[in-house]
Amino acid sequence: MKSPSQRYALRRDDLEDGTCVVPAECAAATRVVLEHKVNGVTPAKHIFDAAAEGDGDEIRVGVAWPEDIRVGVLVSVHWHPGRREVQLRTKPLDEPLKVDGVAYFHEYDPHIVTHEFTPANSNRGRVLDAVRRHGLVFEDGSAVFPEGDLVKKAGLGRGTRGTFLLRNAIDQLIREGYVTRVDGSLGAAGLPIFPAVQGAETVPMLFYAPLIEPAHRPEPDPAEASNRHDHWVTGFTRKLQPGTRPSPRALALHRMAIDNGQIPDAPLPEGYTFVKKHHRNG
């Protein structure tokens, strides 16, 4: 009998570290199964050895996430105690979408997509990051932030030069349609409120709304998918420092290498981890 499922929106750290947050009851898991449709079309199933880490309410298991899973994608988490198995599932969108130019093929949380934004290394990128990361984010992914607080949050400096850089960056974002100026108000704790509360003092704010467009769904290419999977898991074992153990990500990649027939079906030797070859010189 499986327990009720939960949905979790993937953060950037989840994708980069190759992990997924699961309920505390999953601490006894020995296997993770990811059921996923590549680009929202081609069914795929990946099985990983589980090595749950963490304590309290936050437990993490290792997962080698496919390349078409983006920040904010929603993952259903099912716990099968009888099989000691964590089952993860994504759900395809009816039609793929682009969010600010990034293609999404699976249901996602707009709030997380906005908040987990990675800015460009530019002045305008820092300002947009401040609005999206520190602002009040709404359910549809739009966000609002007091313009006067950007001096502290955008990190462009103070004084005449900082004011000049900030003004230019804001003007550029407005010209490009990323943000607009609106009037909001502040709550008791100084947090932004939009629209402004009637009768309250208005405060100039920047309002960001994600650009949502239809996206092209790539045709499934079995050969390309096979090559991409090989790239994820090609690797070798390496001896660990005394007293350390392999990470959940290393165990997940090791399992995938076994599933792809690249290494023998055997557990990692005690005191060893699994490393992807293309990271050797990274």
pLDDT confidence of 281, banded at 50, 70, 90? very low
Mean pLDDT of 143-168: 87
The total of other beta-carbon atoms located within 10 Å of residue 115's CB is 20
User: What pLDDT score was predicted for residue 254?
Assistant: 73
pLDDT value for 227 = 45
Please give the average per-residue pLDDT across 255-276, as a whole number: 73
Q: Please, what's the b/e burial string for 149-184 (b: 16 or more CB within 10 A of its CB; e: otherwise)?
A: bbbebbebeeeeeeeebbeebbebbeeeebbeebeb
Omega into 195 within 30° of 0, i.e. cis? Answer: yes
Give the pLDDT score at 279.
Answer: 30
Average pLDDT of the chain is 82
pLDDT at 224: 47
User: For residue 259, is pLDDT > 90?
Assistant: no
Using alpha carbons, select from 197, 201, 112 the residue that is nearest to residue 148: 201
pTM of the model: 0.74
Question: How does pLDDT run across 69-113, given as a tens digit for each residue?
Answer: 999 999 999 999 988 899 999 999 999 999 988 999 999 999 999
Mean pLDDT along residues 122-145: 92
**pLDDT tens profile 189-205:** 888 999 999 999 999 99
Q: What tens digit of pLDDT does each residue of 15-57 get?
A: 988 899 998 888 888 889 999 999 999 999 998 887 778 776 7
> Residues for the chain: how many in total?
282
In DSSP notation, 213-254 reads: EE---PPP-HHHHHHHHHHHH-EEEEEPPTT----HHHHHHH
